[in-house]
Structure 1
Amino acid sequence: MTGHTWTLLIILAAAIAVLILLINSRLRFHPFVALMTVSIGVALAAGQPVEKIAESLESGAGGILGNVGVTLAFGAMLGRLLSGSGATDKIARLIVERSGERSLPWYMAGAAFIIGIPMFFEIGLIVLLPLIFSVARRLQDTHHVKGSPYVFLATPAIAALSTLHGMVAPHPGPLVAVEGLHANLGITIVVGLICAVPTIIIAGPVYGRWIAPRLDVHPDPELVAKFAGPATPDDTPANGSTPADGSTPADSPTPTGNKVRTGWALTAVLVPVVLMLLRTLAELVYDESSPVRHVLTFTGEPVIAMLAGFLFALFALGYRSDMTPDAIRTSLTDSLKAVAGILLIIAGGGAFNQVLEDSGIGKAVESAASGMHINVLILGWLLALLLSFSTGSATVGIVAATGILAPLAQSGSSLHTALLVVAIGAGSIGLNYVNHAGFWLVKESFGMSLGQATKSHTAIQTIVSVCGLLMALLLSIAA
């Protein structure tokens, strides 16, 4: 490598250090502001012409928001609609009520898997809390589970939700990586699902059965009552029914949606993913002149697929539920407010990535990586892991790692690029600790001590991260 290459690599290392410092120091910069500030500093230090810097920032931020931001907005509204209409509640209870006590963790993982397809980790967990609390309360009364029944059921839910959130599109992190690495979306979804299934099994039901007897976790009874309803002598939470007197806490987040049918609910969850997969199938089966390919390519574009899924859910679920049109509109508006911060972080990441490309740092990374002979999947996983752990944001970990490794993905096959997306996403999940919002959500929801939350939530996320990487490596060897 030349002296200029080394200089660019030093600038990159310094930029990452400053980014971590700005986010974690007493200044507590918002990740968006930190990314934009560091991007300008990198451009100046790398010698990029001053008149081109603003153009790089705007094109980078605007480009990623145009491709990912609109899709993410539709995804957020779809998730809120599914939750508010009662669709996700129906799906979860349908799955769990058919299970026996020994198979409950497996069915809980299945429920979380389906619900986790359109929902962020935090939102999906909140949606599942009434089910987890009500079923765990029954198990606690029967004494058929060793240790904490709450950990017994929460572990597979956390494993499934976090795996899908980090490794499977159309979640924002994988979508950002797909866009930045120019990966095939359909192949990436298939690869992500293949890697996700064994990962969820190991980090969920298997680890949950081992760790539950070792943790004495019991949430605040008032919080349990708020989510699952007051306990009664003949409480039957396993099938999701309300208490015998029909009462429900006034502030219970359990959705309405008596008119929602389970079949429609399942269809609404799967519509976007199926449309994206059909696009990939059409590209493999039909030639470029085929009308079928043109139609499926159009409907399989992420923004079109998410819009189609949202509109289907709006008419099949939203307007058929107990929610009024005004309530639906208010709920959808609130869902967009909830993802505004993520959209800004993605925009900042797009600007950072564009600066790395325009300043030549991306080529320097490519040159260094080729000289080190390190597996690019391991490198992507490690970068995302360290950045996510250091900044407290999985999204920052993904967007920064994607920008750094984008030049290395250009020469790889479609499958290898898809595996790199999964590896980066898996890395962003690991070591989820006190500087992550999800850690505190789990800790406070289940009344855990810091040590208990580390042994459960942090350990689950790290197992998911390692297993996701191992699955990606196995598939790369098999291919």
Structure 2
Amino acid sequence: MTGHTWTLLLILAAAIAALIVLINSRLRFHPFIALMTVSVGVALAAGQPVEKIAESLEEGAGGILGDVGVTLAFGAMLGRLLSASGATDRIARAIVDRASPRALPWYVTGAAFVIGIPMFFEIGLIVLLPLIFSVARRLERTHGYDGSPYVYLAAPAIGALATLHGMVAPHPGPLVAVEGLHANLGLSIGVGLVCAIPTIIVAGPVYGRWIAPRLDVRPDPELIAKFAGSEDGDQDTAADAVAPKNGVRTGWALAAVLVPVVLMLLRTVAELAFDESSQVRHALVFTGEPVIAMLAGFLFALFALGYRSGLPTEEIRSALTDSLKAVAGILLIIAGGGAFNQVLKDSGIGEAIESAASGLHINLIVLGWLLALLLSFSTGSATVGIVAATGILAPLAQDGGSLHTSLLVVAIGAGSIGLNYVNHAGFWLVKESFGMTLGQATKSHTTIQTIVSVCGLLMALLLSVFA
């Protein structure tokens, strides 16, 4: 490598260090501000013409928001409709009702898996808390569970929600990686689901069954009463407290969750099965575009779950507005990551990375996982971990439509959710919701997320044998 290549690589290392310091130091920069500031610094240090820097920032931020931002907005509104209409409660109840105590973790896993497809980790967990609290309290009273029934049921929910959030599009992290690496979306969803299923089993029901008897975790009684109703009522009080207030049928609820995912998968099937001149292929490719698929899913949910459930139209509009406020921060981080990635490309750092990697014998999947893991752990943001790792590795992902590139998407997403500790918002949500000590939250939440991360990597490596 030339001296200039080494200089560019040192600038990249300094940029990553600066990003970590700005976010974690006393300055406590918002990740968006940190990413934009570091992007400008990288461009100047790499000698990019000053008149081109603003153009790079705008192109990178605008491009990623055009590809991912609109899709993310539709996903947030879809998730809010599912919650407001009572559809998520209906799905969860349909899966969990009549389950035996031994089978309960597996049924909670199923509920979290379905609900987690369109919802972020934090939102999905909040939606599931009434179910977890009510069923855990009933399990404790009727069967005298030895250990913490709350951890027994929370572990599968955390494992499923975290896995889907990190590894399976149309969640924002995997979608950013798909876009940045030019991976095939349908193939990425497919291999993401294949990697997710065994990962969820190991991190959720299996680990939960082992750790729950070893932790004495009891949420605050007032919080339990808030989510699951009064304990003084009969055995059905908890179920009534979380029952859907609107007459949403389970079939409609499941359809609303699956419509966008199915449309995206059909696009890949059409590209493989039909000739380029086929009208069927053109139609399915169009409906399988992420923006179109999420719009279709949202409109389906709006009419099938929103208007048909009897919700007042003003309440629906207010709920949708609130859902967009909740993802504004994520959208900004994604925009900052897009700007950072574009600067790496325009300044020549991407070519320097490619030149350096050509002389190294390191598995790209392992490298992607490791970069995302370290960046996520050090910045406290899984999204930052994904967008930064994607920008660094994009020059190395040559064949965007290959299985290997889709597995790289999974590995980067898996890396971003490992070592989820005190600088992550999700850690504190779990800790405070279940009344855990710092040690208990580490043994449960942090360990579950790290198991998800490692299992996701192992599954990606296993499938890479066939790439």
TM-score in same-fold range (> 0.5): yes
Q: Is the 8 A contact 2:182 2:400 kept in 1?
A: no
Give deviations 1:66-107, integer Å, cap 9, x for gaps.
Answer: 000000000000000000000010000100003111000001
The 5-angstrom pairing of residues 316-335 of structure 1 reads: 316-335=304-323
Whether 1:386 and 2:374 are equivalent positions in the alignment is: yes
The 5-angstrom pairing of residues 442-457 of structure 1 reads: 442-457=430-445
Alpha-carbon distance in 2 for matches of 1:329, 1:170: 23
Per-residue deviation, 1:321: 1.7
Supply the AA of the counterpart residue of 1:174.
P
Supply the AA of the counterpart residue of 1:428.
S
Per-residue deviation, 1:381: 0.3
Supply the AA of the counterpart residue of 1:121.
F
Aligned to 1:220: 220
CA RMSD of aligned residues (A): 1.1
Task: Choose the corresponding residue for 1:352, options 314, 323, 340.
Answer: 340
Alpha-carbon distance in 1 for matches of 2:353, 2:265: 33
Alpha-carbon distance in 2 for matches of 1:211, 1:241: 26
The percent identity for this pair of structures is 83
Aligned to 1:119: 119
Q: Is the 8 A contact 1:138 1:236 kept in 2?
A: no
Whether 1:22 and 2:10 are equivalent positions in the alignment is: no
TM-score of the superposed pair, with normalisation by structure 2: 0.98
Alpha-carbon distance in 2 for matches of 1:151, 1:404: 38
Alpha-carbon distance in 2 for matches of 1:198, 1:275: 24
Alpha-carbon distance in 2 for matches of 1:145, 1:190: 38
Aligned to 1:63: 63
Alpha-carbon distance in 1 for matches of 2:245, 2:171: 25
**Is the partner of 1:60 in helix, strand or coil?**
helix
Q: Is the 8 A contact 2:192 2:410 kept in 1?
A: yes
Q: Is the 8 A contact 2:266 2:284 kept in 1?
A: yes
Aligned to 1:77: 77
Q: Is the 8 A contact 2:90 2:244 kept in 1?
A: no
Per-residue deviation, 1:233: 5.7
**Is the partner of 1:350 in helix, strand or coil?**
helix
Aligned to 2:180: 180
Which stretch of structure 1 is more off in the superposition, 144-153 or 64-73? 144-153
Q: After TM superposition, what 4+ stretches of structure 1 lie above 6 angstroms from structure 2?
A: none
Task: Choose the corresponding residue for 1:289, options 260, 277, 286.
Answer: 277
Supply the AA of the counterpart residue of 2:216.
D
Q: Is the 8 A contact 2:64 2:338 kept in 1?
A: yes
Per-residue deviation, 1:266: 0.3
Give deviations 1:331-379, integer Å, cap 9, x for gaps.
Answer: 0000000000000000000000000001111111112122121000000
Alpha-carbon distance in 2 for matches of 1:474, 1:144: 41
The 5-angstrom pairing of residues 420-439 of structure 1 reads: 420-439=408-427
Q: Is the 8 A contact 2:369 2:457 kept in 1?
A: yes
Alpha-carbon distance in 2 for matches of 1:446, 1:412: 42
Which stretch of structure 1 is more off in the superposition, 172-181 or 411-420? 411-420
Q: Is the 8 A contact 1:121 1:162 kept in 2?
A: yes
The runs of 5 or more residues in structure 1 that have no matched partner are 243-247, 249-253
**Is the partner of 2:246 in helix, strand or coil?**
coil
**Is the partner of 1:219 in helix, strand or coil?**
coil
Aligned to 2:190: 190
Aligned to 2:239: 241
Aligned to 1:462: 450
Task: Choose the corresponding residue for 1:266, options 254, 259, 262.
Answer: 254
Supply the AA of the counterpart residue of 2:239.
S
Per-residue deviation, 1:236: 3.4
TM-score of the superposed pair, with normalisation by structure 1: 0.96
Alpha-carbon distance in 2 for matches of 1:5, 1:152: 52
Q: Is the 8 A contact 1:167 1:421 kept in 2?
A: yes
Q: Is the 8 A contact 1:433 1:458 kept in 2?
A: yes
Supply the AA of the counterpart residue of 1:126.
I
Q: Is the 8 A contact 1:84 1:256 kept in 2?
A: no
The 5-angstrom pairing of residues 194-213 of structure 1 reads: 194-213=194-213
Distance 1:383 1:224, change over 3 A: same
Task: Choose the corresponding residue for 2:389, options 392, 395, 401.
Answer: 401
Per-residue deviation, 1:256: 4.4
Aligned to 1:100: 100
Alpha-carbon distance in 2 for matches of 1:292, 1:413: 21
Alpha-carbon distance in 2 for matches of 1:197, 1:445: 26
**Is the partner of 1:471 in helix, strand or coil?**
helix
Alpha-carbon distance in 1 for matches of 2:231, 2:98: 22
Per-residue deviation, 1:396: 0.2
